[in-house]
Structure 1
Amino acid sequence: MRQEWEDFRIAGAFLTVLPVARELSMEPPRLGRSMAFFPAVGLVLGLALVVLNWVLTPLIPRAVLDCLLILILIALTGALHLDGIADLIDGLAGGKDKASVLRIMKDSRVGAMGVVGLVMVLLLKYLSLYNTPLDMKSGALIFAPAAGRWVQVVLASFCRYVRSEGGTGSAFVEHVGEREALIATGTLLLAAIVLFGMKGFFLIFLLGLAVMALIRYFEIRLGGVTGDVLGASTELIEVFTLLLVLAIY
């Protein structure tokens, strides 16, 4: 249990700005093992948002509060995945082949398409949350961050890392396996059943189809994944999850 607790803390340290694993070593095999707990970290983030929502609801209009909750999630995660979505959109929009896409994604500058894509993702996330029925809001707040971090585990497990020079993402992709994917998926499935009952199975099924589509697309377009791709996928699946909750309920 001690090893699992330390892996969870490492996952929390990587996915958030919280200093929860300063004394722990973070060699690549340990980083890959920590991915098993990525959805669990997402659940903790979601629970924090639910508590804040409960505390602030009597004080702030919902339109403002929902925007604030999204900003708080961004702050807690250090905008880690928003950088990925902007870079990915820039690369896919401007690159004609795999090499040019990867080169554009590595550029620290953000182009017009990246900015537009980033704004639209945030707008979709906000509008989806704002229009979520009140009786489903807590479930959506908890489940979306978990689903967004689960997709990273699945992509890392089934795709190869494409940058020959390596990168932050390679430490995870090259050391994650079936154990991590099974634990992460089991965590998300349990959360879906607890939060949404039998409809949770349907949510997981649709999320699975979406992730399979992402795997297929990135394999064809890029030949695999990078750290930016993993981060961007988190944002995409968070939005997709909120839209699914709206559609089902």
Structure 2
Amino acid sequence: MNSFLTALSFLTRIPVGVKMERKTWQTSPIWYPAVGMVIGSVLVVLYQMFASIFPPAVTGMLVVTGWVFLTGGLHLDGLMDTADGLGSHRDREEMLAIMKDSRTGAMGVLAAIVVLGLKVVCLASFATGEWVPLIVAPIIGRMALLAGIKCFPYLREKGLGSQLGAGIPQWAWMISLVFGAVVVSAIAGGRGMILLLGAGCFFFFLAYGMVKRLGGLTGDSYGALAEGIETMVLLLGVATTGWGS
């Protein structure tokens, strides 16, 4: 339970009052899909509340604003840093130095505008009564974090993510990913498989691209993966409205 609360405290701004310890921090990634379900549930409540008052465009903007507030912009910050680094077209060491710089450049701002804009217009494009992509997007996005930590090397020896996942047995990783897939399938029905497969292909495209250029992943890369996958799930959700649900 402490590992779950640690994951909830790290990935959201929900006050849980748990003291973050090394062991619970290391094992917290297996709870990321569950935290994604919590985030998605909150977003659905916000969406239904705002949709009963405002037109679609305003509803989309308000929900995405709530999304950023709920997560503290954690992954959005990683997306911007990653875009600044990769968008600089420098050599590997210079890109990593740019990503570590606390200042945000033009490419980071553009990446944030594009991702947030796509999320808003996707929500504004939902059919009446639609909410399935909104609840599953954070789940699949946190599954991408889990897969990124497990499947790809971490670059920084003293980075925030350097100890994530240490000591977690193989079966626990698998159970966590299966849990996320089962929840998505239970919520989205046959359509959930399309969302999972589409997001999975996009995940490997993004992850391999970053590893090829950087030599591995960083905490910022994880954030970029989460934001990218969430956005892709929303896009696929709009494209597959009414399919197999």
TM-score, normalised by the number of residues in structure 1: 0.90
Contact 1:161 1:173 in 2 (8 A): no
Deviations for 1:5-62, whole angstroms, at most 9, x for unmatched residues?
A: 222111100001122142x3420x4223111111111111111121222233222222
Task: Determine whether 1:183 maps to 2:178.
Answer: no
Deviations for 1:113-171, whole angstroms, at most 9, x for unmatched residues?
A: 111111111101111121122343x211110111111111100001111124x111212
Contact 1:160 1:173 in 2 (8 A): no
Provide the residue aligned with 1:17 in structure 2: 13
Name the CA distance, whole Å, in 2 between partners of 1:38 and 1:129. 23
TM-score, normalised by the number of residues in structure 2: 0.92
Provide the residue aligned with 1:96 in structure 2: 90
Provide the residue aligned with 1:61 in structure 2: 55
Provide the residue aligned with 2:215 in structure 1: 223
Task: Determine whether 1:141 maps to 2:134.
Answer: yes
- 5 Å-filtered alignment, 1:148-167, equals 148-164=141-157, 166-167=158-159
Name the CA distance, whole Å, in 1 between partners of 2:76 and 2:11. 12
- 5 Å-filtered alignment, 1:65-214, equals 65-136=59-130, 138-164=131-157, 166-172=158-164, 174=166, 178-214=170-206
Spell out structure 1 runs of 4+ moving beyond 4 A.
173-177
Q: Shift of residue 178 of structure 1?
A: 2.8
Which residues of structure 2 form unaligned runs of 5+? none
Contact 2:27 2:166 in 1 (8 A): no
Q: Shift of residue 176 of structure 1?
A: 5.1
Superposed CA RMSD in Å reads 1.7
Q: Indicate which of 31, 37, 46 corresponds to 2:25.
A: 31
Q: Mean Cα displacement is larger for which, 173-182 or 104-113? A: 173-182
Q: Indicate which of 4, 7, 32 corresponds to 2:3.
A: 7
Provide the residue aligned with 1:47 in structure 2: 41
Q: Mean Cα displacement is larger for which, 112-121 or 203-212? A: 203-212
Name the CA distance, whole Å, in 2 between partners of 1:195 and 1:244. 15
Q: Indicate which of 229, 233, 239 corresponds to 1:241.
A: 233
Contact 2:152 2:216 in 1 (8 A): yes
Q: Which has the larger helix fraction?
A: 1
Tell me the matched-pair count. Answer: 241
